[in-house]
Structures are given as C-alpha cells and as structure tokens.
Structure 1
Amino acid sequence: MDKAIAQLFDLQGWIVYRTEYKQDSIQIYVGRPRKVARCPECGKVTSRVYDRARQWRRKLHTWCNEKPVYLWVRPRRFQCTGCKKVFTERFPGIRPWARRTERAEALLLQRLKANSFRQALPARRLRRLARSNVQAVVRQWKATLP
C-alpha cells in the first residue's frame, strides 16, 4: 500500500511511515532513507546524527480530488565530523523554511497561468490557500524570470 501511495504522489526515494485520510485533507508521514548528509559549511559527508526534531513539520505537496495532500516530515540534525557544525538535513523538492513543496508551487503556477486571477480565486478558496501564499508563489516565479 505504501509503495502505491509513493508512486501516486511521486514520493519514490522516500519512506512512507503512515497515511491518514481526513475529511478535508490527506496526511502522509514521510522520511528519508539516507543515513548520511553533506555539511553545508565544509562539504564533508557525515553520518553522525546529533538529534531529531521533536515535532513533525507539515508541507503542502499537491492536491487529490480538490483535497490538499500534506507531507509531514521530521528532519534530523547532523553534526559534521570535520568542522563540528550542527545542521539540519535537507529534503529534495523542499526549500529550507518552505511550507510548500516545489511540486505544489508548480501546480499552483500552472493553474494561475491557465486562468485569470478572477477565475483562480474560487479554486484558491476551495483549496484553502491564503491570498498571501498565492502572492508569494507569483513573486518567486517573477524573480526567476530574466
């Protein structure tokens, strides 16, 4: 079942711990199978786990039948064996401090490009996105333009 969930939501390479189906959303608890991480300071690969975040962090991933699909991640913190710096592991497709995955942002931009803002607003309300979230995605997209 977990492999089917991983394929359906493009989570190959992730470990699916559990899935919860709620009335208004789908919650998928995931983690990374890799036991090592690269230090952002010195670039050395380390396997020394310093600790694990106490709380799961929710990231909007996609939509399924107009229900939001959230990934819940619990990042590990590693300590570099070279420079002794403690750093948090990075997840592919999720920028640091982001509340949405790159897939969710791409789907939202695709929807906005296909429709005008006036037509996209009912969908935004249906998908329970704040106006500021939509504006942030558009601002980020404009910043990448030449």
Structure 2
Amino acid sequence: MNNNDILNKLLGIQNLQVRRADWVGEDQINLIVESTLPVAGCPNCGHLSTQVHDLSEVQMVRDLPLADRRCYLSYRARRFQCEPCQKTFVERVDWKRTGFSYTERYERQVYQRVRRETVSQVAHEEGLSEEATQTIFEYWAKKRSRVAATRR
C-alpha cells in the first residue's frame, strides 16, 4: 500500500482521490485531491456527461484535522460539456456545500462545538471569523430543525 492509498483511507471521502500531500509548517497539511466520479449530471437537461471541458481554479477546502494538524483539501472542480444542450456546468460534490470552503463534516463539527461553547471561543480556536462560525452554526441548526420536523 503506497502513501496515497493510506491517505485516501484516512481521508475517507468517497469518490475523492488524494494525489499528493504537502506539509505547511508544523501545524497544517494540504491534500491535493481530485474527484473520481466518471460522470456528472447536467443541471440544465439532466444528461449524464463524461466530457470534461476544463477545471476550475484551485479551492482550498477546510476539512477535519488529520494527525492533529489543520487539514485543507486543494481541489479543482471539473467543468463538464453537455453534448445534447451544449452547456457547460461544474460538477456538484456531496462532501461540500456549493459556494463554501469547508467540508460538510467539518461544518458539522463546528456546529457541535458551538452547541457546547461560545461562537467566539470556537472561532478563535478554529481560526475562523465569528461571522463564518455563526453562519455555519445557523445553517446546521436550521437543517437539524427541518429534519426533526419531518420526523414528527
């Protein structure tokens, strides 16, 4: 088993492949990752496309700590070309919300911490702004209340 296989197992995100790991100082690791999904669905017409048009700019996505170090996923979303409707579109992934730079599991961890600690304490310890921490908390609190309401 090579180092990237070990990192893939530790990362544990389906359909995401670690290509390389870069250490940043003593307290941060950047994992260069790419999607392994073979197709993406066109949001315009629903066609499944396999034709990659290009890649987005690099996104640095905060994830759960790895080996007690802050972990960021360096990720370039693929832009697909849809043959039937001739539109291009960016693949959607299930491990991060569109427009946000955190994995969903990292956001859930922040949410759980804010339930027990103050926003300012969590923000300081995580290296986030209080506004970002509050936004994450409110999103997951609303999501949790919607789920609870559907179970009634």
Equivalent residue for 1:101, pick from 100, 103, 111 = 103
State the Cα deviation string for residues 113-145 of structure 1 (Å, max 9, x = none). Answer: 2x2317x70x53232111111110111123221
The two structures have a TM-score, normalised by structure 1, of 0.86
Q: Which residue of 1 aligns with 2:44?
A: 41
- Measured in 1, the distance between the counterparts of 2:50 and 2:133 equals 38
Deviates more, 1:98-107 or 1:44-53: 44-53
- Measured in 1, the distance between the counterparts of 2:114 and 2:124 equals 13
| 8 A contact 1:58–1:72 mirrored in 2 | yes
State the Cα deviation string for residues 66-106 of structure 1 (Å, max 9, x = none). Answer: 53211111111111111111100112211111111101011
State the Cα deviation string for residues 40-72 of structure 1 (Å, max 9, x = none). Answer: 11111111222222x311111112355321111
Are 1:117 and 2:121 an aligned pair?
no
The two structures have a TM-score, normalised by structure 2, of 0.83
Are 1:92 and 2:94 an aligned pair?
yes
Taking a change above 3 Å as real, the CA distance of residues 129 and 106 of structure 1, as seen in their structure-2 partners, is: same
- Measured in 2, the distance between the counterparts of 1:105 and 1:68 equals 14
SS of the residue 2:19 aligns to: strand
Letter in 2 for 1:143: K
SS of the residue 1:108 aligns to: helix
Q: Which runs of 5+ in 2 are unaligned?
A: 147-152
How many percent identity over aligned positions?
Answer: 27
Q: Which runs of 5+ in 1 are unaligned?
A: none
Q: Which residue of 2 aligns with 1:30?
A: 33
State the Cα deviation string for residues 12-47 of structure 1 (Å, max 9, x = none). Answer: 432111001222311001001223211011111111
- Measured in 2, the distance between the counterparts of 1:79 and 1:22 equals 35
- Measured in 2, the distance between the counterparts of 1:44 and 1:12 equals 22
Letter in 2 for 1:40: P
CA-atom RMSD, angstroms?
1.8
| 8 A contact 2:110–2:137 mirrored in 1 | no
| 8 A contact 1:67–1:127 mirrored in 2 | no
Q: Which residue of 2 aligns with 1:2?
A: 4
Taking a change above 3 Å as real, the CA distance of residues 2 and 22 of structure 1, as seen in their structure-2 partners, is: same
